[in-house]
Structure 1
């Protein structure tokens, strides 16, 4: 597991380095502590790897995902990660290094923002949280994180933050979720919302509610921020469609996928599709005549007339003997055999049935 260094941990590392190396010269800048190396992780085998990146909420998300035996969960989480923290720039190489490892994730989920309450500056102006300038700079940092996964070719899902007990903090979370959702759509990443999953019917924060199986359970801890085991599983359930898509993709990869064959492997298949239809018809015609008979050329087949007889469209119809078909025959004149009297059950029998 790769973790982001918290501010206190970074200070402790720096102090230890100073004690070991002696005091610094006056006015010298202390060297930044080294970034923690990515922890080695055994190969997950056939299981697709889901990478979770973020803060304390992401840690709960990873805990819930680990209940799924069909996937392998890798995490780069810790309280040191935040889009408004001074250590944000140091966090980007940590994510990039994780994506460059051999066990490349098949899916990544980023969940961050629990402690994003710091002001942001563009170098000239300082913007307070919630202001339009702050929202723009916050969105720019969302873009920076999304770009890491896009460059690595890893599908990314941004998970929106859940409701919390503090009404003021929940209002901030709603604004943050709006920025993340809009930027994720622009960056080509997916976004799933978890806010309403931890509220009551009136939309207020609720520590109790239906769990991932639909049973009523305690979902949140007493601090109004953390998650119970059932809450972590419910949080992970919002990623269920994306995780299920991974399973379907793995099953499809095991079958023969003609569309993904290389040219060398598909050459025989392509040749089979390159069929001269006319030649195939000639072969079938020859086969119908006999195995040893030569094929009949199309030029030897009987040719029909170029045009048929001219038939006027306005001439009156005539009978076969040349008389008009509408000719009125006088009464009593012989016209041919009579059908005879009607018989019961025949179409011309109009007699009333006897009671």
Structure 2
């Protein structure tokens, strides 16, 4: 009965993800999404024993992700309100530098599950559309534990389909709070086997995006209302943060923006004027529309700061007329 309850809880997360993704897609859809049916049942019952969370094995020093500078001044009327203090500036890839030098729109692709749908909606609203093209490649009810039904790396590689990709934002996780099977073996969430399989799939996925020339960001999960599910989400966040550090990918921690002063789950937040705004969806997992903008504001500012720095270098290297 315990295992059946576990399956029902995890399947409920997937159904809720479908509903949330459909609502966001209806409100913001651009027609870029590729439709594909995905089964909602977990791939297989995990059998290996759970282990404490362990960091990925080191393979060398983490790659540098860029310097930190003061928040740049925004132009009047700009949607993004950069967070106070310093905003990290990431060294542009050759692809992004080329786009900026040519004065083209910066192509931002958002990859993920239903939570990725929400991150896309926030960035789509926050980044100026005359300067940024923000495409949704995310798809509800997908994850790195579900490769038997949908291999994310192959699927998303085909979605990009040779298009120049300047920035890739990854937001997966809620559907991966379950065991994983691979090569005839299975392991429970956060077991050594789980970390090895998921870590390998994620690293290969990141390398695929890098082959497209993208600067990459990984967005973590928020605090969850259910204490048991939040423990799983926190364990995955810690695992992915260490993995991204090893891979040289900036990890965007949004948990601090989803708790109250005592560090507890909160359903509302206060806007700059002090008015309460709905932060979370009713399922206690996803965010509200305002909530997605709230948690992606810092990432939008970081993207703009990095693009502005790349533009400044491009202008400095231009010949004097």
| Superposed pair shares fold, TM > 0.5 | yes
Alignment of 1:1-355 (within 5 A): 1-3=32-34, 5-8=36-39, 46-68=104-126, 69=128, 70-87=131-148, 90-102=151-163, 104-211=164-271, 215-249=275-309, 251-252=311-312, 255-257=315-317
Contact 2:119–2:296 (Cα < 8 Å) also in 1: yes
The alpha carbon displacement at 1:220 in A equals 0.8
Q: Which structure ranks higher in relative contact order (CA pairs < 8 Å, sequence separation ≥ 6)?
A: 2
User: Which one is further off, 116-125 or 78-87?
Assistant: 116-125
The alpha carbon displacement at 1:63 in A equals 0.6
CA-to-aligned-CA distance 1:164-214 (integer Å, 9 cap, x gap): 211111110111111111111111211110112111122221111134777
Distance in 2, matches of 1:86 and 1:254, equals 41
Distance in 2, matches of 1:212 and 1:56, equals 27
Contact 1:156–1:190 (Cα < 8 Å) also in 2: yes
Give aligned pairs, total.
224
Contact 1:127–1:134 (Cα < 8 Å) also in 2: yes
1:49 aligned counterpart, secondary structure: strand
Distance in 1, matches of 2:37 and 2:279, equals 26
Contact 1:146–1:184 (Cα < 8 Å) also in 2: no
Distance in 2, matches of 1:213 and 1:154, equals 36
> Residues 211, 161 of structure 1: CA spacing in aligned structure 2 closer, same or farther, 3 A cutoff?
farther
CA-to-aligned-CA distance 1:50-77 (integer Å, 9 cap, x gap): 1100001111111111112242211111
The alpha carbon displacement at 1:99 in A equals 3.6
CA RMSD of aligned residues (A): 2.6
> Residues 5, 110 of structure 1: CA spacing in aligned structure 2 closer, same or farther, 3 A cutoff?
same
In structure 1, runs of 5+ residues without a counterpart are: 10-44, 262-355
The alpha carbon displacement at 1:239 in A equals 0.8
Distance in 1, matches of 2:215 and 2:149, equals 22
TM-score by length of 2: 0.63
Distance in 1, matches of 2:205 and 2:142, equals 12
